[in-house]
Structure 1
């Protein structure tokens, strides 16, 4: 793909990538005949990100080509979202009552917890195609009337196939499919904000900018997209949403301002595994878009990021009532998933028995899907167990997290993310 784009640009068949905010907005507005992008807060984030991409990301031809496509997609969805809100103002009135939000570092078992809970039909959840394309197309009324098929799952499937072709390891790191339960990171990214971009491009200036912002506007927009998705699913507002993304570790105050009655499930895992696995995830995505990536730089950045996430989470927890949160150990889920989930359901004040068949079916499907295990080590990213333990040892002691001194660097598909 990279070679084809380079060749196409030489002969004028492929336009050069123009990563200018005004140009991108004007181009998308002209293409779709709309000009309302919603809350303008995103514009500053977009400007900073584009500057960081141009100056720091060192994208190859396929990388800057896909970046332009990604920004077009996000901007178009903002236009379509505002169009839907204008057509159906009742969407913004949909309540989001007592969501259950899983909060944990990258690679700490949040996906496993999320998918177990999503197998319970008493909860609502996002599907992967809805995080890639959260906003239905303007003709979605035909889909709701049963007159045509929703194109978004097909688009998600194509995007996933391209990602797997670009780097087959992505499937073992984070197994998914168009209809699999998925996190809301794509909804936060709709505001041009968050770690989704940091895990695919080298954008340290943008990362530091995001870390200095109040994320409330991004979370408000995320909540409105969640309302739109619930409306498009014809989902009952009575069913609590199951949400999760490691981004929440950084933004708990914003999360709780937007979802004040949320119930929080905190997941914990040995930081050696968290940092090594997170670095591997970011590395395997970044090398798709850039031919100039240092594994040591990736390791340093995700050690720093993990430490920041943990510190912010710990600070924010001080103001959260204890009856609104529960802690779950990665190792406890490995040893006794049923007993651990019984604790979770008792915390949520739900009877676990109706959920058990769905959970067992999910676990059986996961076990039957033979995938190459996700393998990684701290050393390949220029890190040592001693350094990680020194910087994150207090977190381990505070939450009594089991530490694997041998650190078998191998994530199964079930435990991914």
Structure 2
């Protein structure tokens, strides 16, 4: 039995103040009601932009599933539905602007995306650290945080490229991050970042109303399960085109391979490999006890901002199920991937000796690591400044026990030689043996 006396942290009073202000504003007609219907949201985006081409309309299917799940399950408060309207509008407006850019500059879609390096691992398994270390190497291209929030340049971006105007997207990202930290000061501990920090491309999947970002901020389990039964290829095709747009906006050489990462790739490896057939894959592994506890904590700390009715035990149960599903789908998809196209990396190996682990990765990528080492060391120093406090969490906070997690993930732990979090650094020999038989 889990220790129910252990409670997860509460949200800050900031959200209660915002929620009260929105409710009061709606009563006197100063704040619009939240209309979360597909027709209204799409019509609003068309009206604001004067554009009407959303590109591939496949995204409407996950959008409908998401809206249905929000309506029946999310239990959003006023701050939550206000934020939801803004988020949907942002995505839909960007889809319209995306097609505008493709028509205006058709050369964007001709940019190649060759040999991307894709980090694939469970949420909270060290993917961010590895991604940012590789992104320090200027031989690779990477997304920046402001581009994940706003991947699509605004009209008139040519003036930014000419040095005549400032790109507003980093300014917007800085404002959003400031509000996020007011809403939840734990943000910096859970996922330290800044507008220009390397960031995952999850926002490019969000552009198709796809991915775990929604599941980590709203209570939408039926949406998550719906996505698990659908081929994600159209979402990845749009992601690839957005990468081309981001690369064009960065004015970087299309020869540079992209460094990509998001835990969503564990769910959608067949789609990813269909769109990026020459991808090189780095699989990250961590003790599931830590993965599940950390993922549940991340989801809890976001969900409580948008709803007044969140059950920590339900959060824990869902993220244990989700982690188990991610692992199963990743393992199934690996069977069809040539061994010379993938490498396994362990969280505790990076903790113990990041340089040796990175050297092994660079041998896999057939690159000399030495030119990138000073930048990597600079990132690690910067990371210490970004992360001011450790991220603290426990399974018990979310109604889970160590035994339950161990029982449901034991085969994964055994197959990949994963060390318990409190006992890192002693399974290298077992891991070498495991790599020989996989």
Give TM-score, length-normalised by structure 1. Answer: 0.96
Deviations 1:199-220 (A, max 9, x none): 0000011111111100000000
Indicate if the aligned counterparts of 1:189 and 1:196 stay in contact, CA closer than 8 A. yes
Give the Å deviation of 1:363: 1.1
Structure 1 gap ranges (5+):
408-417
Change beyond 3 A, Cα 1:370–1:279: closer
Q: Partners of 1:216 and 1:169 in 2: how far apart?
A: 35
Give the Å deviation of 1:367: 2.6
Indicate if the aligned counterparts of 1:128 and 1:179 stay in contact, CA closer than 8 A. yes
Residue matched to 1:126: 143
Residue matched to 2:251: 234
Q: Partners of 1:249 and 1:27 in 2: how far apart?
A: 34
Give the Å deviation of 1:342: 0.3
Residue matched to 1:260: 277
Indicate if the aligned counterparts of 1:100 and 1:262 stay in contact, CA closer than 8 A. yes
Q: Partners of 1:233 and 1:13 in 2: how far apart?
A: 39
Aligned to 1:199, the other structure's residue is in SS state helix
Indicate if the aligned counterparts of 1:262 and 1:324 stay in contact, CA closer than 8 A. yes
Residue matched to 2:331: 314
Deviations 1:271-295 (A, max 9, x none): 0000000000000000010110000
Task: Kindly tell me the number of residue pairs found equivalent between the two proteins.
Answer: 407
Q: Partners of 1:224 and 1:354 in 2: how far apart?
A: 30
Residue matched to 1:182: 199
Q: Partners of 1:8 and 1:369 in 2: how far apart?
A: 36
Aligned to 2:421, the other structure's residue is in SS state coil
Give the Å deviation of 1:370: 5.4
Deviations 1:60-107 (A, max 9, x none): 000000000000000000000000000111111100000000000000
Indicate if the aligned counterparts of 2:188 and 2:386 stay in contact, CA closer than 8 A. no
Change beyond 3 A, Cα 1:380–1:143: same
Give the Å deviation of 1:2: 0.6
Residue matched to 1:345: 362
Indicate if the aligned counterparts of 2:192 and 2:387 stay in contact, CA closer than 8 A. no
1:215 maps onto 2:232 in alignment: yes
Give the Å deviation of 1:170: 1.3
Residue matched to 1:8: 25
Residue matched to 2:189: 172
Indicate if the aligned counterparts of 2:283 and 2:343 stay in contact, CA closer than 8 A. yes
Q: What is the 5 A alignment of 1:311-390?
A: 311-369=328-386, 371-390=388-407
Deviations 1:30-61 (A, max 9, x none): 11100000001001111111111111100000
- Of the three residues 42, 46, 52, the one matched with 1:29 is 46
Deviations 1:340-361 (A, max 9, x none): 0000000000001101111111
Q: Partners of 1:283 and 1:144 in 2: how far apart?
A: 40
Q: Partners of 2:420 and 2:177 in 1: how far apart?
A: 34
Residue matched to 2:89: 72
Does 360-369 or 252-261 show the bigger shift?
360-369
Deviations 1:11-37 (A, max 9, x none): 111111000101111111011100000
Give the Å deviation of 1:369: 4.2
Indicate if the aligned counterparts of 2:73 and 2:219 stay in contact, CA closer than 8 A. yes
Give TM-score, length-normalised by structure 2. Answer: 0.92
Structure 2 gap ranges (5+):
1-17, 425-438
Aligned to 1:223, the other structure's residue is in SS state helix
1:105 maps onto 2:126 in alignment: no
Give the Å deviation of 1:365: 1.8
Indicate if the aligned counterparts of 2:348 and 2:421 stay in contact, CA closer than 8 A. no
Residue matched to 2:427: none
Deviations 1:120-156 (A, max 9, x none): 1111100000000000011101101111000000000
Aligned to 2:281, the other structure's residue is in SS state strand
Indicate if the aligned counterparts of 1:170 and 1:285 stay in contact, CA closer than 8 A. no
- CA root-mean-square deviation: 1.0
Indicate if the aligned counterparts of 2:35 and 2:85 stay in contact, CA closer than 8 A. yes
Does 137-146 or 71-80 show the bigger shift?
137-146
Indicate if the aligned counterparts of 1:21 and 1:47 stay in contact, CA closer than 8 A. yes
- Of the three residues 278, 285, 296, the one matched with 2:295 is 278
Runs of 4+ in 1 over 4 A off after TM superposition: none
